[in-house]
Amino acid sequence: MQDHITPRRVVILGGGFAGLFAARALRKSPVAVTVVDRRAHHLFQPLLYQCASGILSEGQIAQPLRGVLRRHHNVRCVLAEATDVDAGARLVHARRPEGGAVVLPYDDLIVAVGMRQSYFGHDEFAAHAPGMKTLDDALDIRRRIYRAFEMAETAADDRERQQWLTFALVGAGPTGVELAGQIREIAGHTLDREFRKIDSARARVLLFEGSDAVLGSFGPRLAHRAARTLLDLGVELHLGTRVTDVSAEGLTVEDRDGRTTRFDARTVLWTAGVEAPAIAAALARATGAEQDRAGRILVEPDLTVPGHPEIRVTGDVMGLNGLPGLAEVAMQSGAYAGRRVRHAVEGRTKEPKPFRYVDLGSAAYIARGRAVVKAGPLHLSGFTGWLVWLFIHLAFLTGFRSRLGAVLSWSVAFATGSRRERAFTMTDSGSGSDSGSASGVDSGTDASAVRAAGPTAPAPPPPPP
């Protein structure tokens, strides 16, 4: 009679892009995989802004994590938030939603916890300016956007009415640009002729950015085209500005000359900056690993933590060669980490090749029929860019229901300007401002953009060659 052999234990922290692709790489390996996430769903973060603006529903961008991994018979899911790592004893300490403790032993640890919203030391801004890193954030932003028009309709005077019809977004990366374009479309097309006292098309959308360009990572040419498109839509660009204060009634910004200006806006949205979650600092303390300014863990070329070959860090929270926090980086690094564990289990002794990221490009949707795409020397914008953007997202929205539903929703929105997902609830009828939810640990990757590849549901397909 053979002795029972305990399979190698692999713990994956995070069920986003990196964690999911790591689990997929271990699907047929003789290992016991435990995926730990504080949410029970896998989120296609790059389309969060479309959920927030009412084009897509929650179910079209989020799938139950257990459903996504149901065919992976060596994988189990644990609903908990990792709080600490004991690198010596090889234990992960986690907290269940109701507060109970979970201790998970591991032989290999893959950290894929993503990043969370950063307010650059001003966490008090979160109550009035929600970020967009989670599904809860997207639904909160949807409520704030559509509520603002309703409140403007019953405003007591013109000043209050204009405050409700002014939307301020902080940060002109892909998320800020995409959301700014969506709000202008809502104001000018979706809500056209629905109100009796207000003209929704007169809503102001203000976009603040500390640098001199929107979508700076796309290069000067596409950044200029994106800025021109935003201006054509009616978005007001305020470049070279820094936010110094945010309240329920608006925000104060400072330009490079030190001049401060106050803008009245009842809806302020934060689309700038990310930082590592607390578990990254805990891992650094436990292993002696270094962190960069945003808290990312600096790793070796094979994604391992120095001195700890059993711990690999992937995705947004990984610090390696200045790689950005993009969906494609998370997918590729997660798959690489999973393969490295699989090869170790199979007894391969050949020196592993270092992780090499293949840049498949970047894409950002601005408005109906207008997007920008950067893929190597290929720079596309306008309608052509939008078609490429559409193809990319259809390729990576896995599962027939998600794809079909997205196509139908996009078709309706493109043809008519209407949005089917506009329902929202009022959480506090006695207050002029929602409390807002500060973004927490990101279980996926940066919602900033999809990199010409950029995920959700049953086993996602591999990236295109």
Cβ neighbours of 38 (radius 10 Å): 22
Phi, psi angles (nearest 5°) of residue 167: -120, 125
Identify the H or E element spanning 121: none
Report CA-CA distances (Å) from 282 to 59, 159, 452.
33, 48, 33
Residue at 71: amino acid letter:
R
**What was the pLDDT predicted at 396?**
62
408 Cβ contact partners less than 8 Å away, ≥ 6 residues apart: none
- If phi > 0 it is left, if psi is from -120 to 50 it is alpha, else beta; for residue 308 that is beta
What is the Cα–Cα distance from 366 to 368, expressed in whole angstroms?
A: 7
> Which residue of the set 98, 153, 178, 185 is catalytic?
178
**Tens-place pLDDT, residues 39-85:** 999 988 888 998 999 888 888 888 899 999 999 999 999 999 999 99
Confidence of residue 142 (pLDDT cuts 50, 70, 90): very high
Per DSSP, what are the bridge partners of residue 372?
A: 364
Tokens of 236: 């007001």
Report CA-CA distances (Å) from 442 to 56, 58, 336.
20, 16, 20
What is the Cα–Cα distance from 173 to 273, expressed in whole angstroms?
A: 9
Per DSSP, what are the bridge partners of residue 92?
A: 85, 104
First to last CA, the chain: 47
Residue at 305: amino acid letter:
V
Question: How many Cα atoms occupy the beta-carbon half-sphere of 463 within 13 Å?
Answer: 24
**What was the pLDDT predicted at 40?**
93
- Cα angle value 360/363/369 (rounded, 5°): 140
Helix or strand or coil: residue 365? Answer: strand
Residue 178 falls in the annotated catalytic set = yes
CA dihedral 117, 121, 125, 126 (to 10 degrees): 30
* Cβ pair 14, 111 in contact under 8 A: yes
**What was the pLDDT predicted at 443?**
40
Say whether pLDDT at 399 is over 60.
no
Q: What is the mean pLDDT of residues 256-278?
A: 95
Confidence of residue 415 (pLDDT cuts 50, 70, 90): low
Enter the pTM of the model. 0.85
Cβ neighbours of 211 (radius 10 Å): 12
**Tens-place pLDDT, residues 376-385:** 788 888 888 8
